[in-house]
Structure 1
Amino acid sequence: MAGKLQFSANLKWLFTELPLEERYDAAAAAGFKAAEFAWPYDYPIELFCKLLKDSGLRQVLINTPVGKSGTDKASGQACHPDSISAFREDFFAALEYANGLDCELIHLQAGIRQKDVSEAAALETLINNVSWAGVQAKKSGVSIVLEAVNLNDIPGFVVTTQAQAQHVITQAGCSNAGLLFDIYHVQRSEGDVTSRMKEFFPSIHHVQVADSPGRNEPGTGELNWSFLFERLMQLGYKGWIGCEYRPATSTVEGLHWLKPHNTTNL
């Protein structure tokens, strides 16, 4: 397995025992070489630049902005026909942070389908927004990723399967758009993770992990992680694997799962 897998710490989920200002150093001390952070927009770019420089970490992914918790925009608005201008403004904000942090991936959050909007209209809006965003991102050498989300966690999410996400990407026609293959969501929505992995591998730009059904660290649920990681290596995956899970106890205590699999960090 030497030299084949590389893991990044998602600092929205990991090291939350600490304030943000200490999480990057903590991740580096634990052996990580890269980080993800979903929504950096409440903090100045300069802060993240300092945290990255001081810790030596690389920023590999951020998400597009979302609305307030409990609203229909809490999971993004890329599929909302009445919010195209707002989505574009948000995407420019994401692109500004991605450029400032030398971050090559933006997770474009598709959103929940609004009650008065048909599935066809929501998907058409999403496709158009992905197409537009891809053009904007390409100017800066940034790629966008689209994630299918299971309906147990986010009822009403517009894209729930890899096939649906792939359809959106194909119709959008963006060479710099791909799948965010979140193993937890795949298992919850579809199961048969390795078959989905193989089928859609050419479009997978980023992978995230959490065990199912509790969304805790790998090894706490029903998935065979040695098998899954071996399959990723067999397929030739070269990207980062984001640790986007809720530690069952503390972050550091929960990292014991990683040592047999990680080949570049710990």
Structure 2
Amino acid sequence: MLRFSANLSFLYPDLPFLDRFRAAAQDGFEAVEYVSPYDQPAEAVAEILNETGLRQALFNLPAGQWDAGERGIGCLPDRREEFQEGLKTAIQYAKVLECPKLNCLAGIAPTHASHAELEAVFVDNLSLAAAMLADEGILLVIEPINLKDIPGFFLSHTDHAERLLERVESPNLKIQFDLYHAQIMQGDLIATFKRLHDQIGHIQLADNPGRHEPGTGEINYFNVLRAIEDSGYQGFIGCEYTPLAGTSEGLHWMQPFR
């Protein structure tokens, strides 16, 4: 049986952030995830998790100035100190929220730096983060993101993610396999998932085009999710999509897998 996590940065957009937890629990979700908890006191988030019985599946390391368009700082040469401080903050939150996984966003590649320089910075940051998180029992994941939604994003393909894992050489670093991003950049979702199965630490989904719920686009989610279920994948699958006609109203796609 598959287990689904409600991404509260996308689902229940009409509700205040903390009220989204209650809505997710009422709709039968077992866990939640989101871009960032850092604008809320960790204790307040922990309290709502305890109240609803939800588990915290995942959130991102601090990703820079999100409202200004930044999408991570992992590869940025002039942000190493900020990355290290953000890592400490993320660990503090993860411990309070009992969160087992953190996602490191690579960031948008600056035009003044070479690919080799950016990759060297990213590898150094990932090596540090993977080691520190391993000491806390927290898994680190990295996410390829499509270049249509975030032009210039440094990590956009699973092949690149594999190379980064090889360079870091840590069992505490895995891939966050977002099916929506992968469909746009490379397709071949089932074969790619099967090939990378042992290197995947978290999964997210949305349909394409539109980034709405499964069943609204071109991805055959019945087959894709059956392949994931048959693989024995034990983690949560994050529902990171923009509801087409309301979150609760659009959850019928999930019933065959619950």
Q: TM-score scaled to structure 2, two decimals?
A: 0.97
**Pairwise CA distance, 1:71:** 4.7
Whole-Å separation in 2 of the counterparts to 1:92 and 1:106: 12
1:121 corresponds to? 117
Shift of 1:190: 0.5
TM-score by length of 1: 0.94
**Alignment map for 1:170-189 (pairs within 5 Å):** 170-189=166-185
Letter in 1 for 2:150: I
Count residues in correspondence.
Answer: 258
After TM superposition, list the pairs within 5 Å mapping 1:116-265 onto structure 2: 116-261=112-257, 263=258
Q: CA RMSD in A?
A: 1.1
CA distance in 2, matches of 1:241, 1:13: 14
> Percent of pairs identical after alignment?
39
Instruction: Note if 1:41 corresponds to 2:38.
Output: yes
Equivalent residue, structure 2, for 1:110: 106
Tell me the alpha carbon deviations over residues 134-155 of structure 1, each in whole angstroms, 9 at most, x when there is no partner.
0110111001110001100000
CA distance in 2, matches of 1:54, 1:69: 29
State the alpha-carbon separation in 2 of the partners of residues 116 and 70 from structure 1.
Answer: 23
Tell me the alpha carbon deviations over residues 88-108 of structure 1, each in whole angstroms, 9 at most, x when there is no partner: 111111111111100000011
Of the structure 1 ranges 82-91 and 63-72, higher mean CA displacement relative to structure 2 is found in 63-72
1:91 equivalent to 2:75? Answer no
Structure 1 unaligned regions, length at least 5: none
- List per-residue Cα deviations over 1:42-90 (Å, max 9, x = no partner): 0100110111011010001010112224756x11111011111111111
| Structure 2: runs of 5 or more not aligned | none
Contact map agreement 1:76 1:110 (CA 8 A) in 2: yes
Cα deviation, residue 234, structure 1: 2.2
2:20 to 17, 23, 32: 23
Partner residue of 1:52 out of 49, 54, 57: 49
Is the contact made by 1:35 and 1:61 (CA closer than 8 Å) also made in structure 2?
yes
Distance 1:129 1:21 in 2: 31
Select the residue among 97, 101, 109 that pairs with 1:101.
97
Q: Distance in 1 between matches of 2:6 and 2:245?
A: 16
Q: How does 1:60-75 map to 2 (within 5 A)?
A: 60-69=57-66, 71=68, 74-75=70-71
How many angstroms apart in 2 are the aligned matches of 1:169 and 1:94? 21
Look up the SS of the partner of 1:24 in the other structure.
helix
Q: Which has the higher contact order (CA 8 A, sep 6+)?
A: 1
Pair 230,109 (structure 1): closer, same or farther in 2 beyond 3 Å: same
Contact 1:248 1:254 in 2 (8 A): yes
